[in-house]
Structure 1
Amino acid sequence: MAPSIPPALNRPHFIGIGGAGMSGIAKILAQRGAHVAGSDAKDSETAAALRALGVTVHIGHAAAHLAADASSVVVSSAIRADNPELAAAHERGVPVVHRSDALAALMTGFRPIAVAGTHGKTTTTSMLAVSLGALGLDPSYAIGGDLDAPGSNAHHGTGAIFVAEADESDRSFQKYDPEVAIVLNVELDHHANYASMDQIYESFEIFTGKIRPGGTLVVGEHSGARELAARVAARDGLNIVRVGADDEADVRILDITPRGMTSEVTVLLDDTELTFTVSVPGRHYAHNAVAALAAGTALGVDPAELAKALGSYTGVKRRLQLKGTANGVQVIDSYAHHPTEMSADLEALREAVAPGSRILVVFQPHLFSRTQELGLEMGQALTLADASVVLDIYPAREDPVPGVTSALIIDAATAKGADVTAEHDKKAVPGVVAGMAKPGDLVLTMGAGDVTDLGPEILAHLEN
């Protein structure tokens, strides 16, 4: 498919270009021939990958970084109003484009699959991108995480399909008009933007209302996803495909058999049984793979071929990613930051590890607002580990909230009898964990912040 670049995105400047969502859009535009520039707070492997594509990446934020011929400034909801580059754009009359509008423009002319849900978006989008690519369909894609290397979160393909992760956190997914949409689950999260489940459902209803006439909505068996399906079932021209192990499922999961760090999945689709391998552990990842199978089938991809191709997916960074093994101890990294995700990953690892092996967690809470609302549930999730070390809250875009600290989580966990300790000095964690771990144990670094940086350091301490 011939590249298409909207005029406003011919010479764009991205503020926060190193972010997962922003860097993907920048990469696709660069691959289509746009002159892309941007800035980020710190240098990174992602910035280096963008530079290799000819993108100009400035480190730090300054008005001088905005080129005189910039056609637009692209921002995400995380960019504050007082950012000097954003202020310069307003002063000079340079159009400001939200990340979601830029991504929506890039999908024009394609057959989009938009993957939504409170959990599992990145994994399911990645599964589709990898499996469709393995079938030679060369899809374009934009994912909220790297597949196997920095900058591998996006690609401009030659095929007709565009797979995109659809983010509900700031309602930006309402900008898309997919031919197929996946809603894996619907839960209350992003408390700074949503005050109730009613607001969440309303947002997802608007998103599904943008599905193209004659298009398909794939929903998981999560109660929130099924409730959403019931709310939109009467819409004309909308095909709803339910995925799950229950009797209501249109694509029915007959069996999920754990096999160490993989699973074997058998489904019934159009009266045909299909069995395939999912190369990551856990029932939730198996369900994600079946949703991907249903979505690809809705676009006309042969289900048997797609099921086999799904086995070529070997994971995405930060989704139960093996960082290494030292002195008989595995170190795995997880992006899980919501209690449901935390519990799902811990349950998956419990099935995967050998009997007698301990699971040791290093957890970093993400956002004060999320901790305030879900700290109790986070603590309860940590009871699934044998022992946990909890760091201070990673603030990301938020300012501190009085009285909201990691103690909310620790108190909730210890009240249930869990072995949980606080560690306020992140630099001390590798030594603490190395002192706890024994051969056969598994160490899990967990959270959406910079806790991921600790994996290599823990491995180094274990080796010594």
Structure 2
Amino acid sequence: MTFHFIGVGGVGMAAVAELLAARGLSVTGSDRAASPNTARLEQAGVTVYVGHDAGHVDPEATIVVSSAIKDSNPELAIARARGQRILHRSEALALAATGLDFVAVAGAHGKTTTSGMLAVALTWAGEDPSYAVGSTLPGGASGARLGDGNAFIAEADESDGSFLNYTPSIEIVTNVEPDHLDHYGDVEAFEQAFVEFAERRVPGGLLIACGDDDGARRLVSAAGGRTWSYGTDGLVPGVEAHVAVTITGPASATLVLVRDGRDMARADLSLAVSGEHMLRNAAAAWAAGLELGVDPGLMAQALGTFTGTGRRFEHKGTIGGVEVIDDYAHHPTEVAATLRAAREQVDGRVLVIFQPHLYSRTKNFAEQFAKALDLADSVVVTGVYGAREEPMPGVDGDLIADRMVRGQFVADMHEAAAMISAEARPGDLIMTMGAGSVTTLTSEILAAL
């Protein structure tokens, strides 16, 4: 059987292609440009074409697409004309996980870090899991691997509803905070999708939900079945067990699994990454490890080996006493959590270049973005990275900057990089932030410094 991936260089697509190739299947793919992901795939035995052309498509291949692929793509068009089998990326991922205990990590934010933590910890603990994480792992390792163990860990993408294609044994929901309203229309529809996701569990499957998030607490009430909660705010009514998180430092906490008023498991956690949000993510991963049969103390120790995924508070270099960090935060809650973590780690100022991602998200959350970004000392907001969306009249980065105390709008991101670099002084931290092309600015900033 042959699979052909259209847009194979995307992080999520590359991970699935690598997993299918590891299973011994024939895999080809195409993308508009070469990238580190396509280079890694070629090393894994995947045939990669640069550019999209109908001639790349084997008439017998199963076609794999993401929601980003447009109907006008010539490879998708020829496949449809021939009547070839077409799968969404999530359906192909489910195939790659056949026969394994599927652990699906969902939530508007935190899922990449949480799934990465779980993958790294289970590997260190000797469980040899398979995984598909939407970023590189510590040391630049691939986010995709086919192991010999029983567990398969994957991010479950809610942005287009594709997480409803999975049937997990364990589900982690880090939060149910409104996002992707361009797809869902309203908050009620967004939250209902998570209820449907919870209902996709196998019989006897476990839902692990964050008790510190209002949306996740509502999910627990609506979902039924086996459910554990975790967090700092106390027990969530109706759960089978709760992981109580007592924070003891910027990167440390005590975790206690409580069931029927009794302590069932306990461990002290010390992470290599800082922030309250990181400790919550680790608590979710710890709970999943316990459900998979890992010793509580060993699981906590294993989580301490995690040093972060790519584009999540990723250190890019230090020049002249100025540290440069790249971060993927593109939702107000993520932005605020990342900036609070930065405050704990730097004595100087925090300077940010923020590139809004999606016109709809910018329009819907401009006020919340402004409040979150004002946690920094100085912010330059660039033009919106539209990704799959067409521009909206009157919606750009100034919609956020105009609501800020310490922000300014500079549409061109290269001009923004020059400005922020000139402003920096020894002891400061410069952060590029967003889910789009802003990540490419770090080399410019380091050169300017």
Give the residue type in structure 2 aligned to 1:247. Answer: G
Deviation per CA, 1:380-433: give whole Å up to 9, x if none: 2111110011111001111111111111011111xxxx2222222222233212
1:313 equivalent to 2:306? Answer yes
CA distance in structure 2 between the aligned counterparts of 1:198 and 1:296, rounded to whole angstroms: 32
Q: How does 1:13-52 map to 2 (within 5 A)?
A: 13-52=4-43
TM-score by length of 1: 0.92
Are 2:235 and 1:248 aligned? yes
Residue 193 of structure 1: aligned partner: 183
How big is the shift at 1:365? 0.4
1:273 is the counterpart of 2:266 = yes
Q: Which residue of 2 aligns with 1:396?
A: 387
Q: Shift of residue 434 of structure 1?
A: 1.6
> What stretches of structure 1 move > 6 A for 4+ residues in a row?
none
Residue 184 (1) aligns with residue 160 (2): no
Encode CA deviations 1:203-231: one digit per residue, 9 max, x unaligned: 01111101111111101121110110011
Matched residue, 2:239: none
Aligned residues: 438
2-side partners of 1:310 and 1:149: how far apart?
16
Distance 1:377 1:350, change over 3 A: same
Change (3 A) 1:321 1:227: same
Matching of residues 216-227 of structure 1 within 5 Å: 216-221=206-211, 222-227=213-218
Q: Determine the structure 1 residue equivalent to 2:372.
A: 381
> Partners of 1:102 and 1:396 in 2: how far apart?
23
* Residue of structure 1 aligned with 2:155, choices 157, 165, 171: 165
Residue 439 (structure 1) shift:
0.3
List runs of 5+ in structure 1 lacking aligned partners. Answer: 1-9
Please state if 1:360 is matched with 2:386.
no
In the alignment, residue 274 of structure 1 is paired with which amino acid? A
Asked whether the 8 Å contact 2:138–2:306 carries over to 1, the reply is no
1:428 aligns with 2:390: no
Amino acid at match of 2:209: V
Contact 2:119 2:131 in 1 (8 A): yes
Q: Deviations over 1:308-350 (max 9, x none)?
A: 1001111000111111111001111110001111011111111
Q: Percent identity?
A: 47
Look up the match of 1:335: 328
Partner in structure 1 of residue 445 of structure 2: 458
Question: Following TM superposition, by how much is the alpha carbon of 1:58 offset from its aligned partner in structure 2, in angstroms?
Answer: 1.0
Does 1:296 pair with 2:296?
no
Conserved 8 A contact 1:178-1:211: yes
Query: Aligned partners of 1:404, 1:245: CA distance in 2, in Å?
Result: 37
Counterpart of 2:432 in structure 1 is 445
Corresponding position of 2:130: 140
Shift of 1:144: 1.1
| 3-state DSSP of counterpart to 1:18 | coil
Picking from 315, 329, 332, the partner of 1:322 is: 315
Inter-partner Cα distance in structure 1 for 2:12 and 2:139 = 15
Offset at 1:200?
1.4
Query: How far does residue 150 in structure 1 lie from its aligned partner after superposition?
Result: 5.9
Match of 2:196 among 184, 187, 206: 206
TM-superposed deviation, 1:149: 5.9
Output the aligned Cα RMSD: 1.3
Note if contact 1:24-1:151 (Cα within 8 Å) is conserved in structure 2: no
CA distance in 1, matches of 2:389, 2:93: 25
Q: Are residues 1:419 and 2:406 paired?
A: yes
- Cα contact 1:18–1:40 (8 A) shared by 2: yes
Q: Which of 394, 398, 412 is equivalent to 1:407?
A: 398
1:27-176 → structure 2 map (5 Å cutoff): 27-69=18-60, 71-148=61-138, 152-176=142-166
1:254 counterpart letter in structure 2 = T
Deviations 1:221-243 (A, max 9, x none): 2111011001123xxxx211110
Shift in CA distance, 256/186, structure 1 to aligned 2, threshold 3 Å = farther
Q: Which of 341, 356, 366 in structure 2 is aligned with 1:348?
A: 341
For 2:316 and 2:208, how far apart are their aligned partners in 1? 33
- String of CA shifts for 1:106-133, please: whole Å, max 9, x gaps: 2221011110111100000000000000
Q: Report the CA distance shift for 1:149/1:28 in structure 2 as closer, same or farther (over 3 A).
A: farther
Distance 1:255 1:282 in 2: 10
CA contact (8 A) 1:46 1:150 kept: no
- 8 A contact 1:23–1:151 mirrored in 2: no
Q: Is the 8 A contact 1:14 1:74 kept in 2?
A: yes
SS in structure 1 at match of 2:184: coil
Q: CA deviation at 1:151?
A: 6.6
Partner of 1:5: none
